Amino acid sequence: MAAIQVDELTRTFGDVTAVDDLSFTVDDGELFGLLGPNGAGKSTLINVLVTLLGPTTGTARVNGYDVSSEMGAVRNSIGVVFQEQTLDEELTGEENLAFHARLYGMGRRERTARIDEVLELVGLTDVRDDRVGTYSGGMKRRLEIGRGLLHKPAVLFLDEPTAGLDARTRRDTWEYIQRMNADDGVSIVLTTHYIEEAEHLCDRVAIVDDGEIAAIDSPEALKADLGGSVVSLAVDGSVSAFRDRLEDRPWAVEYTRTESGVNVTVERGEDRIADLVHLADEVDAQITSVDIHRPNLETVFLSLTGDTIASREASHERSGEEIIEPTGDGTPHQRAVDGRSESVHGGNDE
């Protein structure tokens, strides 16, 4: 049975279509990511899946239960960690977990054993008796994630699990999330707008933009679809002659002129450096620097939507509650092709 089955799901708020006719499946045991800018519709989708919002049209099943007609069963089978922190800072780590366990009706013996297990899993055994107010941001997040797991849900939803954490703490948190997925066997659905998070953590990623899924696959497959690595060359001499030479090389999938030379897309950058130097020799040009960029999910997002995640977020912020319409005139693809070489310079968001 699939952990999640979504069919033609739409959720609107007045004129705004936050989730637009989505269909996808999350397999049992998968670590699945929804990647997209703020405002793309990720939280709305999660809120429908955890039964906080009803669908406008379409259906969704979580652990086999329908989110509209079997809300109680859905809720009992899931754990949820929201973006906003909901811990009681006056209580200790253990007391926070115990309170939650009682809400789920766990008996004393089961509760004690499971709290020990969860504290161990999220690395907080040593500080279990300390007030949560004294915890660091990363420790609080781990406690919240652990709390979501306490009643052994089949699916754990994490809405932006590392938002606001510094890079180091974010990496630590990834390790704990992976460990929970592997050791506890829980399926995990997380939302993120961090490229690196989706790429590093998830078995499969759905790229969400404007309420729609632009692509869905493993990070490797999404990147492979782009056609390999981009080699940025700084060239002294006739760049045009060098670029013309690339035209009849079948291994040069794509090339674009840059300020200092040429960006060439090839299947494996490392294998083509000697060929590129040779081509430059033929036209008496010199390659003065070489950078090999492997495509990342930012490059994928750019090629699918014609925009970077950061600039999508900036325009969403500017538009307030307004929905941002896709250009719809065919320019995104063109911009994606042009933008590919630019985006690889941008790198990740950290």
Ligand X SMILES: Nc1ncnc2c1ncn2[C@@H]1O[C@H](COP(=O)(O)OP(=O)(O)OP(=O)(O)O)[C@@H](O)[C@H]1O
The answer to whether residues 77 and 157 touch, using CB atoms and an 8 Å cutoff, is no
Scan residues 4-33 and list those touching ligand X (CB under 6 A): 13, 16, 18
Scan residues 310-329 and list those touching ligand X (CB under 6 A): 321, 323
Is there binding between residue 42 and ligand X (CB under 6 A)?
Answer: yes
Smallest gap from Cβ 197 to ligand X, in A, equals 13
Residue number with CB closer to ligand X (130 or 313): 313
Residue number with CB closer to ligand X (80 or 154): 80
Which one among 41, 79, 261, 339 touches ligand X, defined by CB under 6 A? Answer: 41
**Nearest residue relative to ligand X (C-beta):** 43
Alpha carbon distance 7, 14 (integer Å): 21
Alpha carbon distance 280, 274 (integer Å): 10
Residue number with CB closer to ligand X (13 or 99): 13
Max Cα-Cα span within the chain: 80
DSSP annotation string for 147-180: HHHTT--SEEEEESTTTT--HHHHHHHHHHHHHH
- Cα angle at 80 between 43 and 2, to 5 degrees? 85
Residue number with CB closer to ligand X (208 or 233): 208
Is there binding between residue 39 and ligand X (CB under 6 A)?
Answer: yes
Alpha carbon distance 33, 23 (integer Å): 15
Is there binding between residue 44 and ligand X (CB under 6 A)?
Answer: yes
Size of the site for ligand X (CB under 6 A): 13
Alpha carbon distance 350, 11 (integer Å): 32
Which one among 33, 36, 55, 93 touches ligand X, defined by CB under 6 A? Answer: 36
Residue number with CB closer to ligand X (109 or 318): 318
